[in-house]
Structure 1
């Protein structure tokens, strides 16, 4: 008789998706629709929302609608304690044989997602059990522009997303949707902007959205390095739009980069201005490497580089870095990076003489 299969999660980290969006964006409606799809079978859900009187916070864990576990706490306020405790409890259930194929964390509409992403990426114990599969941010098409004008949390939610999903488009005019799409693209040039029709969207559009893994995710690589973007661009907004504090910087390099220069600058940036780096992603063509190398980070944490399987055949080999910055001029980042790269190139040339 064959031995029983190990519980899901023991063969590798369980993918975890963060679902966020400002109050009223339709997160719970979309989540309920997603959970009815086969792709999200055996999904554990952690829900973080304000209590009825706006004072108490509840972290709700629901697995297939059968079990509900309430823990006091707020993801945006006591992220490490409450989220880690909930995930530890979930892992105990995995060890006990309960199948868990995926985790979705739905945050309160007032949550800043950056500390959540930082915790999921930085804790070594969690990293062995769960892998960040992406940050999905919902934006209300009818009220999104006004929300971005007045709510810094909404700006940060949009800026760090791996997927942006427009909801309630039936309540907005075509002009409103077009203007909001352009504004979101300025805030976040790397996230696909999708539409949830009547509060529903295909689960496949939202899965595998996060930091690149070492598998052959060539379509994602092609999208990154083949994107029609200028060599670099900064985004500035009208003074009456408060998201002017958040800007995107995209850099492309056609020549292979020296890793020592890039790594030195990323380390310096994390130490000195890490709080201003809401998100960073990069696909790199490095000197001495035949395969694409991926880096990503949130605030003070920059992950070690990983190699992808190969470069796409139909896309040019080039490095592409995207920074989502808050209260930090893109030119400061670009000038510092280029200075470190130049110094590393000069040191390498002297060493070869």
Structure 2
């Protein structure tokens, strides 16, 4: 038996985002009172933005306070990576008590992509933290106009794993219209009311093994496919062709599937080529894939733009559906091109499919990109 120290289990981390005035602070204040948030570190931009006085127990240092809810709260001073590393040092050295999860509240104008990239690209952080999901808060009264006017708000909604709709009591009609638009923009994300339980917001990618509902909720492939049936017509291989009249044509979600297991080499070459040639247009990519080399243990993949998270292998399929499913949320990327690329690496016959070997040898010569 090896005497090498066992690597600590990664700490689940949730990103809480939303545009200015959407209600992030109100939601966070409510969550901090919830027992499910005990042993959580909350990273905020400034302490003054959330009402901590009723929860404060003591000042730990200049950047951190201990809350009565059993949480630690700290501020980002400069670099988020440095803040996350400092938390680990204090935890490992016993300077703060162990925490079970981390929640990051972003600024209202933040594009979530750089935060997600930092979490899945940094070689040390990727071993110690595991991205649980992105929760985006949207204001039911001003949400539609905010999505129209601010690209940051669009990206916040598009990359969300879960959307929380606030202020629905002020204008029911506007809320219904906004829900429809958000489903067009991101059909894979559940839309919850502002009183959603903390346990629901803390669910996600972390610890998916054997939890079929968690896997399906995180991946969201069923919702994307159902939305495709509603908005698109069927084509070859079960693909759904793009409707030019849909909302937010620049940002869309769609899924790729395969009934047959995929070889590891084909999957890696597909992902490498897609991110190398189109990475800037990939807002999110999430997938559950059956590998030909080990079809009984599916692989979880996810990434942001050019960066892919370290794949995780589940010990077994969570339910009877053993198809490979990859959900993509893209901006200004031709869906048909991605489908042709997927079919080429899977060896599916298509008249317009490029040759996989030729693409691998010369990725710059990609047609239709």
TM-score by length of 2: 0.77
State the distance in 1 between where 2:15 and 2:21 align: 17
- Determine which of 40, 44, 48 is the counterpart of 1:47: 44
Q: Which residue of 2 aligns with 1:311?
A: 317
Partner residue of 2:267 out of 243, 257, 262: 262
Q: Indicate the SS of the match to 2:169.
A: helix
Partner residue in 1 for 2:304: 298
- Give yes or no for contact 1:44–1:64 (8 Å, CA) kept in 2: no
Counterparts of 1:86-235 in structure 2, within 5 Å, are 86-97=83-94, 98-99=96-97, 100-173=99-172, 175-196=173-194, 200-209=195-204, 211=205, 213=207, 215-222=209-216, 224=220, 229=226, 230=229, 231-233=238-240
Q: Is the 8 A contact 1:261 1:343 kept in 2?
A: no
Separation in 1 of the partners of 2:87 and 2:188?
32
Match of residue 326 from structure 1: 331
Secondary structure of the residue aligned to 1:25 is coil
Shift of 1:72: 3.9
The alpha carbon displacement at 1:132 in A equals 1.3
Q: What is the aligned residue count?
A: 316
CA distance in 2, matches of 1:296, 1:179: 30
Please list the CA deviations of residues 92-140 of structure 1 after superposition, one character each: whole Å capped at 9, or x if unmatched. 3212422222211100010000110111011121123222111110111
User: Within 1, Cα distance between the matches of 2:200 and 2:169?
Assistant: 20
Compared CA separation, residues 61 and 215, structure 1 to 2 (3 A): farther
Query: CA 1:13–1:317 in 2, change beyond 3 Å: closer, same or farther?
Result: closer
SS at match of 1:296: strand
1:49·1:109 contact (CA, 8 Å) conserved in 2?
no
3-state secondary structure, aligned to 1:171:
coil
| TM-score, normalised by the number of residues in structure 1 | 0.80
Tell me the residue number matched to 1:350. Answer: none
Q: 2:25 aligns with which of 28, 31, 35?
A: 28
8 A Cα contact 1:284 1:319, kept in partner: yes
Aligned to 1:64: 67
Q: What root-mean-square deviation, in Å, do the aligned CA atoms of Structure 1 and Structure 2 show?
A: 3.0
**Cα deviation, residue 238, structure 1:** 5.6
- What's the CA shift string for 1:284-341, capped at 9, x where partnerless? 223241122221111111234322222244x332121110001211111111111122
Residues 325 and 172 of structure 1, relative CA distance in 2, 3 Å threshold: same
Task: Describe the SS at the equivalent of 1:293.
Answer: strand
Structure 2 unaligned regions, length at least 5: 1-6, 50-61, 230-237, 350-354, 357-369
- Compute the displacement of 1:179 (Å): 1.9
Unpaired runs of 5+ residues, structure 1, are 1-9, 53-58, 74-81, 348-353
- Mapped partners of 1:235, 1:45: distance in 2: 40
What secondary structure sits across from 1:169 in the alignment?
Answer: coil
Quote how far apart the aligned CAs of 1:161 are.
0.8
Which SS does the other structure have where 1:292 is aligned? strand
Could you say which residue in structure 1 is the equivalent of 2:58?
none
Superposed CA offset, 1:182-230 (max 9, x none):
211121122111111xxx3211111122x35462222233555655534
Tell me, in whole angstroms, the C-alpha distance in 2 between the residues paired with 1:221 and 1:43.
Answer: 23
- Which SS does the other structure have where 1:244 is aligned? coil
Q: Report the CA distance shift for 1:87/1:329 in structure 2 as closer, same or farther (over 3 A).
A: same
Cα distance in 2 between the residues matched to 1:69 and 1:24? 22
* Aligned partner of residue 291 in structure 2, secondary structure: coil
Are the equivalent residues in 2 in contact too, given 1:135–1:161 (CA < 8 A)? yes
